[in-house]
Structure 1
Amino acid sequence: MSVMPWHEEHWSRLQARRARDAMPHALLLCGPAGLGKRDFMHRFAQGLLCQQPHDGEPCGECRGCLLFEAGTHPDYAVLSFGLRKDGVQRSEIVVDQIRELSARLAMSSQFGGWQIVCIDPADAMNAAAANALLKTLEEPSPQTLLLLVADAPWRLPQTIRSRCQRIEFHLPSRDTALAWLRQAGVKDAEAALDAAGGNPGMARAWAEEGALARRQEVRKDLGALATGRGEAMEVARRWLDNEPEQRLWFAAQAAADEMKARATRSTGPLVSQLDDEALDRWYMSANRTRESLRGPLRGDLLLLELLAGWH
């Protein structure tokens, strides 16, 4: 399993707690997507269930490791989006899933060691599910561990967050990120890292899927709209058909670059006609629109309103 260098401090601290037999009963692994929280969780959980670990690292060969990697270890479970009665995948984690989890944790470990449950994404629990989990967190069973993984931990109730040991992943230094990207064989690592806002995992994924070209398309579209050479409706349609949330990320990034250029009294790359205050409002609106696309509102109207405001 590939180890990301910015994981090592968290890893060392948890292994020290394990050595002192002072493991918490719940961990909240949080931070931006792309920093390998789930890889860390998988590695840590497997190490706890491994029958012959070395410095907390799973051996990959014992019965526990083989069952874990096959997804059949009886003392490990992942709770995520379930299916509704009509077979459609849910968009939230519901209370019945948490109740089943509590019943499972009330039973003894089949291998006589840890019982581990991962809730991912934990920030997708609805209010009833979060309230049901609270009782489990307040009355933990011996040698059980809950691993909550969340990209947006602020969506979790404070009562849940306060009962978990928080493991927060931050963006690594630029030098560390670039070294990791180059070792991973990412071409044009600097441009990819800039596009991803300093997030190396996201930079790697975006470089592999051709997102850098998409970033240039977004800037070209905004430049055309600023000079009256583009149609907001046509741009909105194209953005909606191809990675709209990513395009809005790049649009907000472009607006931020425009503001930075103005701060140095130079011409911005997009030659926006908006004044400084309006440009700042548009930047915030682009980020809000990206969030709103995940809701029930019509994406085409959201994008059209935003792009019309740019023009």
Structure 2
Amino acid sequence: MQEDPRLSSLHLHGHEAALKAFRTALSSGRLPHAWLITGPPGIGKATFAFRVARIILQGEDPESPAGRRISAATHADLLVVSRSFDEKRQRFRGEIVADDVRPINAFLRRTAAEGGWRVVIVDGAEWLNRSAANALLKILEEPPPEAVLLLTSSAPGRLLPTIRSRCRKLDLTSLEGHDLQRIVAKQIPDITPADMQRILDGAQGSVGRAFALLVDNGGKMAGMAQEVLKGVSASRAYQIAEIVLKKDDGFNLFFSMLSDFLQNEARHSARQGQKQSASLAQTWEAIMRLQTETERFNLDKQETLLEAMTLVSKA
């Protein structure tokens, strides 16, 4: 299981350049009031945001009072906003709504409990719906003193341009293999060399994806994705969809693998001068849009999987 970003922020791996850029801004005395932390999914953007919060709130030492409160999620000057979890459906809601953002105003109006800064983390800002985004924009337009907002996003293009323009951007890159290996080994000390190599080969520098790949025992999910590329019958597509949805986060992992294989096929076809490269690229765009819309609007995942497999089989 992937470690809680509050705790993993105590031993951040990688992202040294971005962390240095933040420390430089802080020491200059002209700290921007809002930061947009971007990068591919699963590379530790939330972990980085919590590390920045620890720096601002003087909680880098895990044994310090501030450090202990951040780890325990009880620090009065740190507020975290993200997609809420739907207990009934057992999944995260498809968007961040205005009610999720509204507590930020009250939080920033009051005096810092510990006499210093107040920090707000908006994790997954691309999930803000229009009302929530407008509410956040108003805060960014008139930020209170000694307050910092940290927005993380895997898809900053979905944010309002006016939100992006009011943030200092920090781009995080995929983790190096040795950093990823240390993170995985810390969480799963008894992992076999074969599984470690399989994860490093497929994770593409993403911690989130590395742990998702662990769920794919023996590479079964990858095998099914490759099978779909060759074309599957309607009955086999239903079987694959059922298997995928029984896995923890199987939906996202399957789409991620299918996307990678499609991209590789498209590049190979383009290098060979084959006409189908354009069709493969269009199919890749279509299935990525399907995945995004399904997550955002809580659409039926089985229907989405079947539609994606139909598109890929045709391509």
More helix by share: 2
| Match in the other structure for 1:292 | 293
Q: Distance in 2 between matches of 1:234 and 1:92?
A: 29
In 1, Cα distance between the equivalents of 2:159 and 2:122?
12
Q: Determine if the alignment matches structure 1 residue 49 to structure 2 residue 57.
A: yes
Number of the residue aligned with 1:271: none
Which AA in structure 1 matches 2:199? A
CA-CA distance at 1:221 after TM superposition: 4.5
Alignment partner, residue 16 of structure 1: 24
1:48-127 equivalences in 2 (<5 Å): 48-50=56-58, 58-82=60-84, 90-127=93-130
CA distance in 1, matches of 2:93, 2:230: 39
SS at match of 1:206: helix
Please state how far the C-alpha of 1:76 moved relative to its aligned partner: 1.4
Cα gap change, 1:229 to 1:290, in 2 (>3 Å): closer
| Contact in 2 for aligned 1:121/1:149 (Cα 8 Å) | yes
- Name the counterpart of 1:4: 13
Number of residue equivalences = 290
**Does residue 134 in structure 1 map to residue 137 in structure 2?**
yes
Partner amino acid, structure 1, of 2:303: L
**In terms of mean alpha carbon deviation, does 205-214 or 98-107 score higher?**
205-214
Identity percentage over the alignment? 27
Task: Deviation per CA, 1:152-176: give whole Å up to 9, x if none.
Answer: 222211111111111111225xxxx
SS of 1:308's partner is helix
Deviation at 1:181, TM superposition (A): 3.1
Whose relative contact order is higher, 1 or 2, with alpha carbons under 8 Å and at least 6 apart?
2
Question: Partner residue of 2:3?
Answer: none
Gaps of 5+ in 1: 269-273
Q: 1:276 Cα shift?
A: 4.3
The alignment status of 1:209 with 2:215, answered yes or no, reads yes
Across the aligned residues of Structure 1 and Structure 2, the Cα RMSD in angstroms comes to 3.2
TM-score between the two structures when normalised by the length of structure 1: 0.79
Structure 1 runs of 4+ off > 6 angstroms? 86-89
TM-score (norm 2): 0.78
Post-superposition CA distance 1:203-247 (Å, at most 9, x none): 43134323633212321354363xx79734433443444412321
**Further displaced range: 243-252 or 289-298:** 289-298
User: How far apart are the structure 1 equivalents of 2:298 and 2:160?
Assistant: 23
Residue 284 of structure 2 corresponds to 283
Computing the radius of gyration from Cα coordinates, the structure with the larger value is 1
In 2, the alpha carbon distance for the partners of 1:229 and 1:102 equals: 51
